[in-house]
Homo-oligomer: A and B are copies of this chain.
């Protein structure tokens, strides 16, 4: 039994690499997906496919339609979603992905520094598990497969 894990959230640090490595070290049967991590490409993908747009809003709309295509397809395939919130950026699309997972009855593991607890309290309350590090998230998933 392999699990599909969607990694929502911040794309400006190496947390996904840390997390994948932690999974690999434990030989866990996890298959990871997530958003485009190259921020520039994620911003430009609309124009890359549809051509130059006359305004930055239209550029954003074109990009977001392709980014949402990616997210919708991969989220539907996911058995569990992990979302990491950092201290910078608004990360409203991360909150959107996390809430969508919950509404689709897919369990959410939330990773956040303790100091973000207050603004994230409603999302934390809906998450199935709340941790502070990618390593802890992988420990939780490892437990799903352990027998003793």
Do residues B66 and A143 form an inter-chain contact, with CB atoms below 8 A?
Answer: yes
What string of 1s and 0s marks CB contacts (under 8 Å) between A30-57 and chain B? 0101001110010001001110001011
- The contact size tier of chain A is 35 or more
Chain B residues within 8 Å of A67, by CB: 122
Please give the distance in Å from A139's CB to the nearest CB on chain B.
5
Contact for A65 among B49, B66, B129, B144, CB less than 8 A = B129
* Residue A99 is within 8 A (CB to CB) of chain B in the complex: yes
Residues of chain B with a CB closer than 8 A to A129's CB? 65-66, 69
A73 touches B80 (CB 8 A): yes
Report if A28 contacts B (CB, 8 A).
no
Q: Contacts A57-B114, A95-B92, A139-B48 hold; do A69 and B122 have CB atoms under 8 A apart?
A: no
Q: Which residues of A are interface residues toward B (Cβ below 8 A)?
A: 1, 3-4, 31, 33, 36-38, 41, 45, 48-50, 54, 56-58, 60-61, 63-74, 76-77, 79-80, 85, 89-93, 95-100, 102-105, 107, 109, 114, 117-126, 128-131, 136, 139-140, 143-144, 146-148
Which 9 pairs between the two chains have the least Cβ-Cβ distance?
A: A103-B103, A95-B95, A99-B99, A64-B125, A93-B122, A64-B121, A96-B99, A90-B119, A60-B121
